[in-house]
């Protein structure tokens, strides 16, 4: 049997059994003003682009409004415009740097819709490649991430500058 080591996943899995601190991680990350540590790639006026700490694939990004809300209808037109501008920008940068064959882009709004962080709306951009799925997620509940997150961060950050 082959063993694959992905220690970042255990933090995510264990987070569901730990009591909530009441602190929103999507508010905390930009407030710390340490973008490299928090994997924030770009800040705008109303939103920011951050790498997903628990990615489905290499290059899995999120666009997040600075304003804490779990409801899409709470967002202003300005916030929505910037979020969609960043969704477009992230797909352009990912096409350029990682050359995916396609993307999954979306948001899970509400716990019953699958939101892991339901109190702060955010939008996922997941690059996809032909053949990037295999038996591992189905049989072993394991997803292989092919590139170190810091390498991906540096590649994407340089493309955005």
In angstroms, rounded to a whole number, what is the distance separating the alpha carbons of residues 15 and 87? 27
Secondary structure element (H or E) that encloses residue 87, with its range: helix 77-98
122 a catalytic residue: yes
End-to-end CA gap in the chain: 43
Write the burial class of residue 120 (CB in 10 Å: 0-12 exposed, 13-18 middle, 19+ buried). Answer: middle
In angstroms, rounded to a whole number, what is the distance separating the alpha carbons of residues 91 and 157? 14
Residue carrying structure tokens 């790639």: 41
Q: Cα 66 to chain center, whole Å? A: 15
CA–CA distances in Å: residue 2 to residues 9, 44, 140, 141, 147: 18, 43, 11, 14, 19
- The active-site residue out of 68, 120, 122, 124 is 122
Active site amino acids? 122
């Amino acid at each position: 049997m082959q063993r694959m080591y992905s220690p970042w996943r255990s933090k995510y899995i264990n987070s569901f059994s730990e009591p909530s601190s009441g602190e929103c991680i999507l508010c905390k990350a930009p407030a710390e003003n340490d973008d490299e540590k928090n994997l924030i790639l770009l800040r705008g006026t109303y939103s920011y682009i951050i790498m997903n700490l628990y990615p489905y694939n290499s290059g899995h990004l999120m666009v997040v409004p600075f304003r804490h809300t779990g409801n899409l209808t709470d967002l202003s037109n300005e916030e929505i415009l910037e979020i969609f501008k960043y969704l477009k920008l992230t797909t352009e940068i990912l096409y350029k740097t990682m050359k995916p064959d396609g993307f999954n882009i979306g948001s899970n709004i509400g716990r019953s819709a699958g939101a892991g962080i339901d109190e702060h709306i955010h939008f996922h951009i997941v690059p996809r490649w032909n053949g990037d799925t295999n038996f591992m997620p189905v049989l072993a509940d394991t997803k292989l991430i092919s590139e170190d997150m810091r390498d991906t961060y540096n590649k994407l950050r340089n493309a955005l500058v």
